[in-house]
Structure 1
Amino acid sequence: MQLDALKAVNCDMIFKDHGVSGTKANRSGLDAMLDGLKAGDTVVVFKLDRLGRSVLHLADLLVRFQNDGIHFCSISEGINTTTPGGKLVYHLFSAFAEFQRDIIAENTIAGLAAAKRRGSKLGRPPKLDIEEILAAQRLIRQEQISTSEAARRIGASRATLARNLKNFDMS
């Protein structure tokens, strides 16, 4: 049905992702199509849900198409960005995508703030504990070895040890 509809509107090239869920991030047909697009091309789909894996993904693709000078047409929904009505739909999707991204960012910031208030330690755990830093510092001072050699002995990279020594300097 989809192929018949695309052929009926004389599509030059048809990209397929047969048997691949639309929710998958990597879809070889979609990726190949996106790689080959250039300004002035028109992307035609049977239905909107055949293109994006989510409303946000679809909106991001439509914004990308607009920015790259690529037209978009959805046969079933009657969307065509070369028409005033199609441009309106594009702007609605664009606004929705921006709204969705803002909500995600706002929720992330609120979640991090709540975690901090609960006393959660955020970020990557330290590679070296205080005992390892002190041991390396003693090796460097008492045995007069290099930071690189001290790092090798405690099982850390030179950069990690140097950064920790700098942050912990008790001179």
Structure 2
Amino acid sequence: MQTLLFNVLGSFAQFERDLIVEHTTKGRERAKKQGKRMGRPSKPEKDVKQALKLYQERGTNGMSVADIVKATGVPKSTLYHKTKQT
């Protein structure tokens, strides 16, 4: 009897979770159709370019990546991603 009750409650929980995922997906698709952007806003391009310049000159300016991140406010992941692109 306990196993049956456990399985029934588990089935309801899974059903509820599936409904939540479905509603979230529909809402996200509707927002994208309306032109809304998802995720964190990006840093201004001038800040990213300044960070890249400091990164490329770190041999002469003595700045570490942590120093560049603090000075420009550009996340470390963005800095590394942009350096791989160039």
Letter in 2 for 1:162: L
Structure 1 residue 162: deviation in Å?
Answer: 2.4
Higher CA-based Rg = 1
Q: TM-score scaled to structure 1, two decimals?
A: 0.38
The alignment's C-alpha RMSD in Å is 3.0
TM-score (norm 2): 0.65
Moved over 6 A (4+): none
Q: Per residue, is there more strand in 1 or in 2?
A: 1
Q: Structure 1 or 2: larger helix share?
A: 2
Structure 1 residues 162, 81: closer, same or farther in 2, change over 3 A?
same
Relative distance call for 1:120 and 1:168 in structure 2 (3 A) is farther
**Partner residue, 1:166:** 83
Q: Secondary structure at the match of 1:138?
A: helix
Measure, in 1, the Cα distance between the counterparts of 2:64 and 2:79.
Answer: 7
Q: Which 5+ residue runs of structure 2 have no aligned equivalent?
A: none
Task: Report the Cα distance in structure 1 between the residues aligned to 2:40 and 2:15, rounded to whole angstroms.
Answer: 30
The counterpart of 2:2, out of the listed 81, 87, 108, is 81
Say how many residue pairs are matched: 83
2:39 matches 1:123 = yes
Give 5+ residue unaligned stretches, structure 1.
1-79
Would you say the 8 A contact 2:52–2:83 is kept in 1?
Answer: no
- In the TM superposition, 1:1-171 aligns within 5 A as 81=2, 87=4, 89-126=5-42, 128-141=43-56, 144-145=60-61, 146=63, 148=65, 149-156=67-74, 159-160=76-77, 162-166=79-83, 169=86
